[in-house]
Amino acid sequence: MSTSTSGWPLLLRLGLRQDRVLAPVAVAVLVLMSVASAAATPGLYADQADRVRAAEAINASPAIVALYGPVLDVASEGELAMTKMTVLYAVFVAVLFVVVVRRHTRVEEETGRTELLGGTALGRDAPLVATAVEAVLLALALGLLTALGNTVSGLDPAGSVAFGALWAGTALVAAGIGAVTAQLSASARTCAAYAAGVVGLLFVLRAVGDTGPGWVSWLSPLGWNTQVRAYGDVRWWLLPCYAVAAIVLLGVAFRLRSRRDLGSGLVPTRPGPRTGSPRLADAFSLAVKVHSTTLVLWSVAAGALGIVFGMIAPGIGDLLDSEVAQSIIDELGGALVAAILSIVAVVLTYFAVTVVSHAGRDEQDGRAELVLATATSRGRWFAASATLALVGTAGLLAVTGAGLWIGYAAADGPGIGNLLLAALAWAPAAWVVGALAVLSLAAGLRWSVLVWAWPAAFLTLGLVGDLLELPGWLTGLSPYSHVPSLPSDAWSWGSAGGLSAVAAVLLTVAWWRFRSRDIG
Amino acid sequence: MTSSLIEVRGLVKTFGAFRALDGLDLVVGAGEVHGFLGPNGAGKSTTIRVLLGLLRKDAGEVRILGGDPWRDAATLHRRLAYVPGDVSLWPNLSGGEIVDLLIRMRGADPATSRREELIERFSLDPTKRGRAYSKGNRQKVALVAALATDPDLLILDEPTSGLDPLMEQVFNECVAEQTARGATVLLSSHILSEVDRLADRVTIIREGRVVESGRLSDLRHLSRSRIVATLSGAAPDLTGTPGVHDLAVDGSRVSCTVDPDGLPAVLSVLTAAGVTALTSTPPSLEELFLDAYRDRAGAGR
């Protein structure tokens, strides 16, 4: 007998096979970061009193609390060790699960592969069931490995179980968000934007709640992560709430799925223009047009993030007077603005990655062929994507910097230097990583998977490198490690010039390779 | 030879160890419709992509519109239009936007082109987004963009795949209009009836080599007719009669294929045996096609 879910085990096997690289690598990276943090903490503080002072310093800084959440039990070693992991890195967990869910639901639908399978004995809900099951399996693996890793690194076993559970819970909620947003639009990219918006909103809600009216944090599952107090007096009752939230979201997703046709979204697609604008006439204007929505959404997000943290940042001024606090903040990754920018820079590099990988898909699907069969030369096609990727990323950094500056000025912060410049200081490093992505594309389609790997690899290297005290030459491989932490450090022409030169060399090599290779 | 718009001699293209094109020749004269035939994987699309400068040749000579497609791709492409076999569109651009974009990218102006007329004739909805089009409609978008201007050369790679018979008819009319004003067309296909109707000359390829090339009338002349006869008396022995092949005798029914030279002899023998029914079918392109393969496969063994 055939039901609306029949055939899902087959799809589950297919999904696991498709994710056989992405899932293990991403889970391993996340577990490794947690383990590295857990293992490094005892070495950072001499005794219990030192730890308490550090935790109190964190709590005293609204800016740091906004970014990482408060340490609810200052006496707990685990709470301090997991400061970054509890909320901020849980966002990466969420991103992973949104990505996994989207690629097995909406992306498959948009490319028509679901339709291909729909002709077989598969039920309408089978893709969603298979994806949900995979997400649960993956969340369990992530939770168990994290709990195990943290315990082995010397943290309290019960607390580690609670911590693993809260990461798994975040993962499940994110999977639910991914499943619901995948129903909304016929465009996979628009669905991704909805999901990113929801995760961003949940992060901001808890940032507001943690620094202001406390009840707001409880609206966000990311806020629950802090409230679980994994390594303190654990609120075990909070853990089932994640499962309930995930089940509700999945239920909504199934309801929405039953109300729409395959390949369509709930938000109807408006008809497009009958004729093309005269400005849409070459490879560059095409790239801008294709990425215009993405560019607008990223700009709004970058600007809003900048303003929010710019307004919070002045709180750090009082702290900088105390010598102890100064050193603690350094240990936590430099002054707050620098810390935010170091992460924002990596995230914004993904704009460049999106543009470059889109060019790769254009080539794979034959759209590049369509363009290159016109009077558009290879050089123009190649330059269009490379230029948009690199200029766009720099532009987004500038928007972030402007946001920081506006927020900071609005909050009447003391002068701490040029925040726009502080943001732009990351552009050359982002260019190097963007240029590596371009080089991967130029090397040929089989290397295009690397396009996505570069920024994450360098981010991981930087974080793990600091915690495990890896040798300098190894951490130095990351372009991001050569950027001075403005505004606390001074602008360096050497760094900016050197990184820009490296990016230019990489782009030249990429072009040299691309001009002589086959297309498609 | 200035009258050839496409001149390919001894073209070789390898992908790793796989020899996709193995010494291929292709000459397309100005103003002709040239059918480019072959089974899937024969190398038709690979040849076209070398002609467009998308793939780099490993050996041989390739000239298109008098230039080198690898070096002068962008300049040459102003004078040609291309429709790929499997059209992929930008998901968030409308059909109308894509048509205009492709026309503009070839250096032409959509406003003075035949886009409106063609959209009408192909009954295409230009306001739909790229992702919403069916395969046939994606094909129409590419066809409208290609046929809307007056290129010297049209390169069409299985252009009617996905089109319904009505739209195929429109397509045939459009190609006829293009040739009437002097355009040259390279039409790759395995839909033989389409080529039969449109092409002046054909090149049949298999495994990256040409197996047959020439005017359709010449190829027909070279090939055998199929004769099926029902006889009143005993079947005569045609074995050993010059030009007779594939002989099969089933009681009073005889069927064979006959070389043009052998026809008079065969007919007189059959007449003498008392014919009650006789059909003679001229070779269709399908048979030319199969003949060419069979001979090549046989010679290879």
Query: What's the CATH code of the domain at B28?
Result: 3.40.50.300
Residues B197, B245: one domain? Answer: no
Instruction: Report CB contact under 8 Å: A365, B88.
Output: yes
Instruction: Report CB contact under 8 Å: A520, B75.
Output: no
- List CB contacts (< 8 A) between B92 and chain A: 187, 189, 290, 293
Q: Is residue B295 in a domain?
A: no
Residues B178, B45: one domain? Answer: yes
Residues B88, B186: one domain? Answer: yes
The pLDDT assigned to B301 comes to 39
What's the rounded mean pLDDT across residues A468-495? 85
Residues B111, B260: one domain? Answer: no
Give the Å distances, CA to CA, from A89 to A30, A92, A222, A469, B120: 8, 5, 10, 20, 55
Q: For A366-382, write each residue's pLDDT tens digit.
A: 999 999 999 999 999 99
H or E element that contains B10: strand B4-15
| Total residues found in chain B within this entry | 301
Range of the domain at B16: 4-215
State how many domains chain B has. 2
Whether the pLDDT of residue A411 is over 80: the answer is no
Q: For A355-369, write each residue's pLDDT tens digit.
A: 999 999 999 999 999
Q: Is residue B193 in a domain?
A: yes
pLDDT-derived band of residue B58, with 50, 70 and 90 as boundaries? Answer: very high
Q: What is the least distance, in Å, from the CA of B133 to any CA of chain A?
A: 12
Question: Is residue A210 a contact partner of residue A54, using CB atoms and an 8 Å limit?
Answer: no
H or E element that contains B250: strand B244-250
Last residue of a domain, one of B215, B244, B269: B215
Residues B26, B173: one domain? Answer: yes
Strand B253-258 and strand B244-250: the pairing is antiparallel
**Of the given ranges (A8-12, A153-157, A463-467, B111-115), which has the lowest mean pLDDT?**
A463-467
Whether the pLDDT of residue A48 is over 80: the answer is yes
The pLDDT assigned to B151 comes to 93
Q: How far apart are CA B206 and CA B228, in angstroms?
A: 30
Last residue of a domain, one of B191, B215, B239: B215
Name the residue facing A187 among B75, B87, B92 (closest C-beta): B92
Residues B109, B243: one domain? Answer: no
B54 to chain A: nearest residue by CA? A519
Instruction: Report CB contact under 8 Å: B75, A370.
Output: no
Name the residue facing A273 among B74, B78, B97 (closest C-beta): B97
A376 contact B CB<8A: yes
- List CB contacts (< 8 A) between B88 and chain A: 365-367, 370
DSSP letter at B129 equals B
How high is the mean pLDDT of chain B?
88
Q: Which residues contact B206 (CB under 8 A, 6 or more apart)?
A: B38, B39, B42, B292, B293, B296
- CB proximity under 8 Å: A 79-138 to B: 110
Task: Provide the number of CB pairs (under 8 Å) joining chain A to chain B.
Answer: 124
A374 contact B CB<8A: yes
Residues B82, B177: one domain? Answer: yes
Q: At CA A274, angle to CA B165 and CA B129, rounded to 5?
A: 70
DSSP letter at B108 equals -
Q: Which of A161-175, A318-332, B269-283 is modeled with the greatest confidence?
A: A161-175
A415 contact B CB<8A: no
Residues B71, B122: one domain? Answer: yes
Substitution target in B58, B103, B105 with the highest count of A β-carbons within 10 Å is B105
DSSP letter at B69 equals T
Name the residue facing B74 among A273, A280, A376 (closest C-beta): A376
CB atoms within 10 A of CB B12: 16
Residue B249 sits in a domain of what CATH number? 3.30.70
Q: Give the helix ranges, DSSP H, for A82-125.
A: 83-86, 88-104, 106-110, 113-118
Last residue of a domain, one of B160, B194, B215: B215
- Among A216, A178, A211, which residue's Cα sits nearest to residue A197? A178
Residues B101, B15: one domain? Answer: yes
The pLDDT assigned to B284 comes to 66
Instruction: Report CB contact under 8 Å: B87, A366.
Output: yes
End-to-end CA distance of chain B: 37
Q: What is the least distance, in Å, from the CA of B52 to any CA of chain A?
A: 6
Instruction: Report CB contact under 8 Å: B98, A276.
Output: yes
What's the rounded mean pLDDT across residues B267-286? 81
B70 to chain A: nearest residue by CA? A516
Q: For A292-347, write each residue's pLDDT tens digit.
A: 988 998 999 899 888 887 877 765 545 445 555 555 544 443 367 787 888 889 98
Token duo for residue A492: 């360096």
What's the rounded mean pLDDT across residues B250-266? 85
Name the residue facing B74 among A269, A273, A375 (closest C-beta): A375
Name the residue facing A282 among B88, B93, B105 (closest C-beta): B105
Question: Is residue B56 a contact partner of residue A517, using CB atoms and an 8 Å limit?
Answer: yes
Whether the pLDDT of residue A225 is over 60: the answer is yes
Q: For B122-157, write each residue's pLDDT tens digit.
A: 999 999 999 889 889 999 999 999 999 989 999 999
Residues B39, B170: one domain? Answer: yes
Whether the pLDDT of residue B292 is over 70: the answer is no
Token duo for residue B239: 């074995």
Give the amino acid at A268: P
The pLDDT assigned to B166 comes to 92
- List CB contacts (< 8 A) between A186 and chain B: 131-132
Whether the pLDDT of residue A452 is over 90: the answer is no
- List CB contacts (< 8 A) between A385 and chain B: none
Q: Is residue B187 in a domain?
A: yes
Q: Is residue B299 in a domain?
A: no
A112 to chain B: nearest residue by CA? B131
- List CB contacts (< 8 A) between B80 and chain A: 373
Q: Is residue B46 in a domain?
A: yes
Q: Is residue B288 in a domain?
A: no
Q: How far apart are CA A393 and CA A353, in angstroms?
A: 10
Residues B102, B230: one domain? Answer: no
Cα-Cα-Cα-Cα torsion A153, A156, A157, A159, nearest 10 degrees, comes to -120
Residues from B contacting A (CB-CB < 8 Å) are 49, 52-56, 73-75, 77-78, 80-82, 84, 86-102, 104-107, 110, 126-129, 131-132, 142, 155
Instruction: Report CB contact under 8 Å: A378, B75.
Output: no
Instruction: Report CB contact under 8 Å: B128, A375.
Output: no
Q: What is the least distance, in Å, from the CA of B72 to any CA of chain A?
A: 9
Q: For B230-240, write each residue's pLDDT tens digit.
A: 888 777 888 88
Instruction: Report CB contact under 8 Å: A271, B127.
Output: yes
Q: Is residue B290 in a domain?
A: no
The pLDDT assigned to A333 comes to 32
B69 to chain A: nearest residue by CA? A373
Whether the pLDDT of residue A33 is over 80: the answer is yes
Residues B151, B44: one domain? Answer: yes
Instruction: Report CB contact under 8 Å: A369, B49.
Output: yes
A276 contact B CB<8A: yes
Q: What is the least distance, in Å, from the CA of A515 to any CA of chain B?
A: 10
